[in-house]
A = this chain, B = another copy of it.
Amino acid sequence: MSGRLYGLGIGPGDAELLTLKAVRLLGQVAVVAYPIPASGVSLARSIVADHLPTGIVELPLPLPFDGKGGAEAAYDQAAAAIAAHLDAGRDVAALCEGDPFLYGTFIHLHVRLGRRYRVEVVPGVSSVMAAAALAGMPLAARDDALVIIPAVIEEAAIERLLATAQAAAILKVGRHLGKVRAVLARLGLEDSAICVERAGQPGESVRPVAGLAEAPYFAVILVHKDRPPCRA
């Protein structure tokens, strides 16, 4: 009988934001798979390091970020490497930062393996929630609609969504900061928007968007129409 695949949400970076379920499964599976960057250490592995039992098989997967060239082939290879363990009857936990189904790398493995194997997704704390918690700024309350927007989409779509919703979290900001700031300014929202970086990780920060010259890819911009303008 083939093994079971777990898509394991491991939260935004703070190892204390692991769930009890994720910790339990790390103690039970035979294999732990995780993305590794082209250089440097795996953030996903570092989050769970204290919970990896001796003897667990580690399967590091070279997975580029979305949109980089070669991503499809890399996910094909990663899925094949995981499938070999599942076919041999071994349970595999595929680590995924944040929540697996909210922009998670696991989605690309799920597409490839979800119909052939028993798969269970274990939800995790998203970086969007961690950013709001760090900033002390509610995402949405009562009848607020909240839009979660990757900054790469076209300016007109960002503007339509922001104009209708009460609140927004804008992700993957990076080189799209200027475009996002222009939309926020047109809607009169720039002075109340904040930019959160690395929530729950070393070097975390919360800054006003107004006056911001640059932002990293993993920055999250939060805006809420009921929020007063930023002071710091």
Q: Which residues of A contact B (CB under 8 A)?
A: 7, 9, 11-12, 14-21, 23-24, 66-67, 99-104, 107-108, 110, 114, 119-126, 129-130, 132-133, 136-150, 152-153, 157, 160-161, 164-165
Contact = CB atoms under 8 A, between A and B. Distances in A.
A101 B129 contact: yes
How many copies of this chain does one complex carry? Answer: 2
A138 B20 CA distance: 22
Given A9-B129, A133-B123, A147-B147, A140 B17 contact: no
A96 to B, nearest CB: 11
B142 A133 contact: no
Interface-central residue, A21, A108, A141, by most chain B CB under 10 Å: A141
Nearest to A161: B164
B145 A161 contact: yes
10 contacts: A7-B133, A9-B125, A9-B129, A108-B141, A120-B133, A123-B132, A126-B126, A145-B157, A147-B148, A161-B161
Contacts of A144: 103, 150
